[in-house]
Structure 1
Amino acid sequence: MDGIKDRLKEISHNVDKYKIRKLRPASSGASSSAAHNTINTVDAWYADEGTEVFGFEVERQILEKHLLKGDSSRSIISVVGESGIGKSTLAWEMYDSPMIRKEFDVRAWINVPPQIRDDDILYFIYKRLCPESDDHNSSVTGEVHEALSRYLVDKRYLVMVDGLVNFTNWNSILQSLPKNNNGSRIMIITRLEDKEAAHANPNVSLVKIGNLKREESKSMFQCRVFGVDKQFDDKNFGSMISQPQQLIDSACEDMLQITHGLPLAIVVLAGLLRTKSISEWDKVLKKLKSSDEPKKVKRILALSFDDLPSRLKSCFLYFAGMPENLIYNARRLVRLWAAEGFLKPKKGKTMEDIGQNYLKELISRGMIHLVKRDLNGGVWLVAIHDRLHAFAQEEAQEASFLEVHDNADLLAPGSVRRLHLQNYMKSYIPMGTSFPKMRSILGDFAEERSSNMEAGIVRAHGTLKNQGNSSDLRYQALHFLPASKFLRVIDLRGLRIKKVPRAIGDMIHVRYLGLRSRSLAELPSSVARLINLQTLDIKRTEVKKVTQAFWEIPTLRHVVANKLRLPKSAGVLNNMQTLTGLVSDPSGNNIKPLHNMVYLRYLQISGLGAQHWKALEDVLKKLESLMYLHLAGDDIPFKLFTKFTLRRLQILELTGKIDTSDVITEDQYTLPNVTRLVLKLSMVDQIFIDKIGELPSLMELVLSDDSYSGEELLLSDNGFNNVISLLMTNLTKVAEWTIRPRSIPKIRRIVLSGCSKMKIKLEGKQGEEGLIGLMEDLKEVVVYNMPPADSIIVEPANPAFKEKINRVALKTKSEDITDVMQRGGRWRAGMMAENMFHN
């Protein structure tokens, strides 16, 4: 058997090595070249994802009227319609439009999972509007209600809640939001029927979303199949296919009969057909038309699932265990898939690259939704539609793939292989028996925000009050886990444990260990015996040290921590990809362990001092694979920009004073691919600003917390030629910012916060070249944390620039304000997504 496996691997490698292609059978009616032209690569489809919205013209106008042209009293709008009709798509488009952002002082979008408590919804609204508030000051519902009412009393606010299905939620939320006379609006996206919604609250204005019209459906279908910039062309199909336009027209007619203009059905059907040659479409469409089901959406989903390659089916079914109606971090998903063994190794590709490709293929097929890309163009945040989520749960249950447990479920512990705990209100599982066959256990529980309170409004899923109950998993010491000898994945968040049992070291099959508990302060030395461990996630814990032997585990790929000490030594960790939340030893200069992690992609280290930089310089010369680097410390050397060969680095974040004493004007940069630069507490001067303006790929620049030391800031004509987003926050010393005619020519969004002294000076005349370009490309100047008395002065007076200023009353922390720069995907507060490189 081993010999056969080795031979199969060799054959597989040769297919890639010699580029042997698997051709379609001749009977398909299309040549291989035609199929190749018809079906573009997954990356091409992924690049087009989410770039165009179809239909909703009438509904958009109605919604705009309700939001902007009503009376000054607070009003409620409910968007209703069939699941998959596009309610959230329309609502988000309106919510994030410049027109809406300009009209409302503060806004909040909240996604809620089923069964969530009313108190939690209220807390999410409060945290979204007031992210700088401390949890311990708002842990009780009454306090949140009072604080929210006080904050919103004089503001025009827009609150959008997506996913309400419970009648009782309505009145609870409405009662907590003040009825001011500023024209505030509350919009609720619900799955209730219009009559049910009207019954829930007769004072709500209903906006019912209908199916797409005929031409809108056809446009959406063809765009999803051929791509935004790849509209159908007869020449793409060659002479082997006779009358291709007739085939397209026929397919569109069949599509209309099958989907009836339901956007979700169109998206999934298009995702299925784009994997086929056009000559194969007829077979697929006939199969769907012949279905006896009254609604063919489920049949489309089933056919699309059956068409998935086996390597993708398990990955898709994994979403069945994720909480519904939330957003998921793609990096965490890929790590879990790798630990489960779902990712098929491929020569020349890391597991993380393969996982990203799997996500892109599921996105291109319409099975999951791309919410946001990272700055590298990869997948950062994803979601799954509630209809697809329900379908995945049915398939997973039928195949005994996993068990999703809540209070109403009865478990058969002897047969459970994967257990996903989704207990929004309480979290109980039977502790008296073991799970002998269990491979994975995942759960996300209420997290205490105050050490002196038993219960509070939680991070994600609800308030839990039965402290000390023997069946409440949160208070268990995890002694039941070692009984499951075959466990590969342990990912439990929001626990209230202080210790982990030593017996966990006997669970040698564990590949993913995620334990997030604010009361967890240490890990047993036995974790070093987890010889197959790939990921250790102890973010949001107080763990400061792990045993030295842990750093000898050769399979380690990701260590995600909060304040973990850098070890004195480490083994040869050639698989290590991520190392975040690390703190250097202040008493020494030991950086040597990083020498053995030469394939690191993501590195975050703080506590650096003057004694560390020389050693770090030697290390960074070896870490040529770094894509993300976050350094925090004192006297950061300027030669970080000019001497290190970090040619793959894309994101650089520096916190601390930068030593610019050795800046040489003639020095050339060695960071050709940095797209995002964040400076905090850097105290740099104009010479430094001029130098970083030379970075050829820089697209986003963040200057925060007195990162600039002078009173006058100049962006010259010769730099920042590709910057599209600029954030300046808490630059308390800057009195004048000068923008020259041809500086920042591609800028789209400027965000200013806490720069109360700043005056903006526009050089050049109104009609001068460069200034016109700025006015054409610039979409918005967002102003935060700026007192009304300190209105921005623009000289010379420029109406075009002034019109783009959008003053927002929202008060926020400087680290949270970067969200404003990252629009373009749904940034929903229902799941407070963590930093893309730290989760």
Structure 2
Amino acid sequence: MASASITFVLNRLGELAVKEAALLSGVGDDIRLLRDKLEWLQTFIQDADQERREGANQYVGLWVRQTRDVAHEVEDVLDEFLRRLDHDTLRQGVPAWRRWLRLAASCTTQVSVRHDLRERMDGIKNRLKEISDNVDKYKIRTFRPSAPGASSSAHNSTINTVPAWDEGSEVVGFKDERAELQRYLLAGDDTSRSVMSLVGESGTGKSTLAWEVYDSPIIRKHFDVRAWINVPPQIRDDDILYFIYKRLCPESEACEQKNSITEKVHKALSLYLKNKRYLVMLDGLVNFSNWHSILHSLPQNEKGSRVMVITRLEDKEAAYANPKVSTLKIGKLDKKDSSSLFRRRVFGANNQFKEKILGSKISEPNVNMEKACENMFKITHGLPLAIVVLAGLLRTKSISEWEEVLKKLESDNEPKQVKRILALSFDDLPSRLKSCFLYFAGVPENLIYNARRLVRLWAAEGFLKPKKGKTMEDIGQNYLKELISREMIRLVKRDMNGGVWLVAIHDRLHAFAQAEAHEASFLEAHDNADLLAPGAVRRLHLQNYTETYIPMGTAFPKMRSILGDFAEERSQNGKRSLSSKVRAHGQLKKQGNNSDLRYHALRFLPASKFLRVIDLRGLRIKKVPGAIGDMIHVRYLGLRSRSLTKLPSSIARLINLQTLDIKRTEVKKVTRAFWEIPTLRHVVANMLGLPKSAGVLNNMQTLTGLLCSDRLGNDIKPLQNMVYLRNLQISGLDNRHWEALREVFKKLESLMYLQLAGKDIPLELFTKFTLRRLQILELLGKIDKSSVNEEDQYTLPNVTRLVLKLSLADQKFIDKIGELPSLMELVLSEDSYCEENLLFSDKGFNNVTSLVMANLTMVKKWTIRPMSIPKVQKIVLSGCPNMEIKLEGKEGEESLEGLMADLKEVVVCNMLQEGSIIVKPANSAFEEKINHVAIKTKSEDITGATQRDGRWRAGMIAGNMYQN
């Protein structure tokens, strides 16, 4: 990891030399000489981390640590230099991004700053010379020649692995275990509720196997309600119970008694599940201390309900924790299945990478592959995690390089072999990707993470290397795809643009990342701020699911990033979490009296002068100190606290700020000068007002949670200065804004996601010009069709997803949107249609694969013609009482040939009573695909069903990193 630290500093030195030439008058030569020395040192230290890890030379660890410390010192010097220059300029009241170069060359104070920089650079160069002398003195440079799996080859990988990033993660092998698990869940002669634990070594694929069974059609149809809960470590049992409650119980059926929250949840679950066959899967549970309190809230209703625990505990440990729980142990793959999994992961599901890897040996692949598979099995012993990670590494090589890589991994120590595979895969990463991977050490274990947020954090940290013609977001997506393809992280869900949306990391890789990050002084992860050496911490992630207040009075003078994930943030629907309410109920004399709650003053911030990233979620914050404006290095400011109502005007001095995330706060306004910061890329808010004017924000990519409130509608005009905007979400629109929006949309040609909420949305906005890149369109409010002529055509050629809510559309409008050529997902939600009869004709919706119809209370009959939605695969119906579905075609037709031939499932939500869906004429093929389930009644939960797979829905309450 020392090489990654040097790479990061070298990039900063390079950027400084190019962009700030006038600033470095008198010290530029010193910086260039220092950069040369570091480049040479980096060349010789490529294998140092690997040698240090294997303990080949007792001096190597010392050399790596000293080299890394020098790189950190260089970074400290540069940041202090820039901070003092910017601070002097800002203190004079001059906008730094306009005049600071001229002032830097003339101010005497800055001459003094450059003099101090030169002196400190001289000291660093002397220290580098001493380290170089020690290398020769102690004969440290005794490394083995680099193998193809070493980091030195990472920049010249034979095969580009990015195209393989979206390969599936289906289960290979375990046929008997899969059948046994399914038999247990479907056992017809066992009507009582029973519990099973799925046990096995970490890396055997327990969760993958369990998910495949859990999400199979037969299981979905068998159970009335299901919940999959990802359980993070160190979590309270009453919070697990709360997760189950939030996942299963409709909001309308929650109890309102004035007793404790835990009792309320217990009663709500008991009442709601009393007459339902339910399935609850708890993935990652390792503590059975209060297991009975969870089971006590899940009723014994004699319906054949099931509870399953997926755990790393051995079967004896799980049985000891609860002797009544039967266990199913997942072992390792045999040689045949191991080879099958290995080949699939190396060559791709359709062997699309086979020719590139085998090259000229394509005529004799079997000889080479048989030997490779035999060696692979000796190394991995059939552990699926080891197999896929090794496959991800070898996929980057030609087969001629495989022998050296496999030979390097030979060992008689099985646990050590897995660690070697992980280490070798990590060493093979380019330096920038190493930093990105190690960032996962600072995220909670066993959760799913939002890729967009990760990319924004990486950009703020400086991990992403700029590339001409690519935005930082595009580069970050490529980095994610590379890590996924190398099997270092796992793809959970793609976004609507075909990119990465949700990702996860295996607990074994997470532990490896934490160990490497700690060893390299890259990042510290703790559950509180009581650190042994706070003066040395450079990145800190605080993870605490049991407290909402952390006493952070310690100074962190060298800290670059602080990330916090606290209990309060783990709530839903704008309410504080269960654990927060329980604690508050016990601490306060009068429930609801917030005056006694402890709020964090963030006094540690001014002392952390080098901070680039501040991302605190769930911490109780009422006020942000004005001194934050002096922290000119801050690039990412995320403060999600429901008690926060105001930001200081000094944030306008954060001249390098890229991301402001104040979602789930009550902040309604920021100072107008904030909208002059040219580096702004993402503003994520709740109900934030727009200013009447703004600077030229050519870097702006995301604006969500905005509210138009100006009486004259002037708060739309600033959007014209954000011509590269990709994501826009704005509410509070009315007749004062539509004219300005017409002009704005002519300039926002890069828009890919657009949500408009307001009154009388004029349809002509989408007929007079082309939003040619728009892919997702959401309209919340009544649509005004009065100004649209019959002959007008819609000009939205690339819209793949359309969401309508409260639109009161008519049949003519439905016919029109059916002509959208690329539409694949259609959501008609909450009074989006105003007539009793809804017809899908043969002329439209030819490419729709997913259809959601929720809370269409006015619709009595829905007619589907033979070729109206020929490619639809999934239909979701919710809150449409007594809807009659008319299937036009031959009377009594029993097959779906020519009528939705690709249809796999019709999900019927919250309409469990008999006769809620009437199909005429009777069609057994259609009716067999109907799956009645019970989920929340809120339309926003239903409307997301087509763009989120089941795992997202099941795990969304177990973490908050899904948000933008």
TM over 0.5: yes
Give distance in 2, aligned partners of 1:485 and 1:461.
Answer: 37
Pick aligned residue for 2:346 from 220, 225, 231: 225
**Is 2:682 the counterpart of 1:558?**
yes
Q: SS in structure 2 opposite 1:217?
A: helix
2:479 pairs with 1:358: yes
Matched, 1:747 2:895: no
Matched, 1:75 2:194: yes
> Structure 1 residues 237-246 or 83-92, which shifts more?
237-246
- How do 1:541-620 residues align onto structure 2 when only pairs under 5 Å count? 541-585=665-709, 587-590=711-714, 591-620=716-745
The letter for the 1-side match of 2:678 is: P
Measure the CA separation in 2 of the matches of 1:819 and 1:359: 24
Give the equivalent residue in structure 1 for 2:96. none
Distance in 2 of aligned mates of 1:777 and 1:761: 18
Structure 2 partner of 1:121: 240
- 1:462 is displaced (CA, Å) by 9.5
Question: What is the letter of the counterpart of residue 54 of structure 1?
Answer: V
Aligned to 1:175: 296
Distance 1:376 1:836, change over 3 A: farther
Give the residue type in structure 2 aligned to 1:60.
Answer: R
**Contact 1:406 / 1:421 at 8 angstroms: preserved in 2?**
yes
> What is the CA deviation profile of residues 596-638 of structure 1, one whole-angstrom value per residue up to 9, with x for unaligned ones?
0010000000000012111101101100000000000111111
Show the counterpart of 2:837: 712
Say which is worse superposed, 52-61 or 286-295, in terms of deviation: 286-295
Q: Aligned equivalents of 1:298 and 1:187: distance in 2?
A: 30
Letter in 1 for 2:437: F
Residue aligned with 1:207, SS: strand
Match of 1:633 in 2: 758
What is the CA RMSD across the aligned residues, in angstroms? 3.1
Distance (Å, rounded) in 1 between the aligned partners of 2:526 and 2:163 = 38
Counterpart mapping for 1:366-405 below 5 A: 366-405=487-526
- Counterpart for residue 348 of structure 1: 469
Report the equivalent of 2:24.
none
Unpaired stretches in structure 1, ≥5 consecutive residues:
10-26, 30-34
Task: Give me the whole-angstrom Cα distance separating, in 2, the residues matched to 1:539 and 1:105.
Answer: 34
Rounded Cα–Cα distance in structure 2 between residues aligned with 1:510 and 1:785: 47
Contact 2:358 2:365 in 1 (8 A): yes
Could you tell me whether the CA contact under 8 Å between 2:357 and 2:399 is conserved in 1?
A: no
Letter in 2 for 1:565: G
**C-alpha distance in structure 1 between counterparts of 2:502 and 2:570, whole Å:** 25
Cα deviation, residue 456, structure 1: 5.2
The answer (yes or no) to whether the contact 1:449–1:458 under 8 Å persists in 2 is no
Distance 1:314 1:449 in 2: 28
Q: 1:262 to 1:805 in 2, by over 3 A?
A: same
Does residue 486 of the first structure (1) align with residue 610 of the second (2)? yes
Alignment partners' CA distance in 2, 1:402 and 1:835: 21
- How much has 1:406 moved relative to structure 2? 2.0
User: CA contact under 8 A between 2:254 and 2:268: conserved in structure 1?
Assistant: no
In terms of mean alpha carbon deviation, does 743-752 or 431-440 score higher?
Answer: 431-440
Letter in 1 for 2:702: T
Given that 1:741 and 1:768 are in contact with CA atoms closer than 8 Å, whether structure 2 keeps it comes out as no
Q: What SS is found at the alignment partner of 1:568?
A: coil
Q: Is residue 505 from structure 1 mapped to residue 626 from structure 2 by the alignment?
A: no
> Which residue does the alignment assign to 1:12?
none
Cα shift readout 1:267-291 (whole Å, capped 9, x = no counterpart): 1000000011111000000000147
TM-score by length of 2: 0.80
Q: CA–CA distance in 2 between the matches of 1:737 and 1:744?
A: 13
Q: Which of the numbers 916, 919, 924 marks the counterpart of 1:794?
A: 919
Structure 1 residue 700 and structure 2 residue 825: aligned? yes
Deviation of 1:743 after TM superposition, in Å, equals 1.0
- Note the C-alpha offset of 1:639: 1.6
Q: 2:929 & 2:583 partners in 1: Cα distance?
A: 40
1:80-479 aligned at under 5 Å gives the runs 80-130=199-249, 132=251, 137=256, 140-230=261-351, 237-239=358-360, 243-290=364-411, 292=413, 294-407=415-528, 410-426=531-547, 431-447=552-568, 457-458=578-579, 475-479=599-603
Q: 2:8 is matched with which residue?
A: none
Residue 644 of structure 1, CA deviation: 2.9
Letter of the structure 1 residue corresponding to residue 280 of structure 2: V
SS at match of 1:518: coil
Task: Report the count of equivalent residues.
Answer: 812
CA distance in 2, matches of 1:203, 1:399: 45
Question: Residue deviations 1:413-470, cap 9 Å, x none?
Answer: 111111100123336756443111111111011218999x9985248999997799xx
Which one-letter code corresponds to 1:509 in the other structure? H
Structure 1 residues 730 and 169, CA, compared in 2 at 3 Å: closer, same or farther?
Answer: same
For residues 207 and 390 of structure 2, what CA distance do their matches in structure 1 show? 20
Structure 2 gaps, min length 5: 1-12, 22-145, 149-153, 590-595
Contact 2:355–2:362 at 8 Å: present in 1 too?
A: no
CA deviations 1:683-704 (Å, max 9, x no partner) are 1111110110011110100001
Deviates more, 1:632-641 or 1:361-370: 632-641
Classify 1:833/1:765 alpha carbon distance in 2 versus 1 (closer, same or farther; 3 Å). Answer: farther
Which range is displaced more, 77-86 or 133-142? 133-142
Preserved CA contact (<8 Å) 1:130 1:812: no
**1:506 counterpart letter in structure 2:** D
Q: CA deviation at 1:769?
A: 12
| 3-state secondary structure, aligned to 1:703 | strand
CA distance in 1, matches of 2:686, 2:226: 31
Q: Does the alignment pair 1:679 with 2:798? A: no
Residue aligning to 1:17: none
- The Cα of 1:172 is off from its aligned counterpart by 2.3
SS at match of 1:348: coil
Q: Determine if contact 2:241/2:294 at 8 Å carries over to the other structure.
A: yes
CA 1:297 to 1:828, structure 2 compared with 1: closer, same or farther past 3 Å?
Answer: farther
Distance 2:736 2:599 in 1: 43
Question: Does residue 1:524 correspond to 2:648, yes or no?
Answer: yes
Tell me the secondary structure at the aligned position of residue 807 of structure 1: strand
Q: State how far apart, in whole Å, the 2-side matches of 1:802 and 1:695 are.
A: 29
- Hey, what's the Cα distance between the residues in 1 that align with 2:197 and 2:581? 24
Q: What is the TM-score with the length of structure 1 in the denominator? A: 0.91
Change (3 A) 1:757 1:145: same
2:843 matches 1:722? no
Quote how far apart the aligned CAs of 1:768 are. 7.7
Of structures 1 and 2, the larger Rg is shown by 2
How far does the alpha carbon of each residue in 1:528-586 deviate from its partner, in whole angstroms, 9 at most, with x for none?
11111100000000000000000000000000000001111100000000000000025
Are positions 1:664 and 2:789 aligned together? yes
Cα deviation, residue 410, structure 1: 3.5
Shift of 1:358: 0.5
Instruction: State the Cα distance separating 1:236 from its structure 2 match.
Output: 7.0
Tell me if the contact between 1:775 and 1:800 (Cα under 8 Å) persists in the aligned partners. no
Q: Spell out, residue by residue over 1:32-59, the C-alpha distance to the aligned partner (whole angstroms, 9 max, x if none).
A: xxx99x9664342013243x32112111
Does the 8 Å CA contact 1:732/1:757 hold for their aligned counterparts? no
Q: Is the 1:586–1:609 contact (alpha carbons within 8 Å) kept by the matching residues of 2?
A: no
| Distance in 2 of aligned mates of 1:782 and 1:602 | 30
**Distance change >3 Å, CA 692–CA 748, structure 1 → 2:** same
Secondary structure of residue in 2 paired with 1:296: helix
Counting aligned pairs with the same residue, the percent is 75
2:905 paired with 1:780 = yes
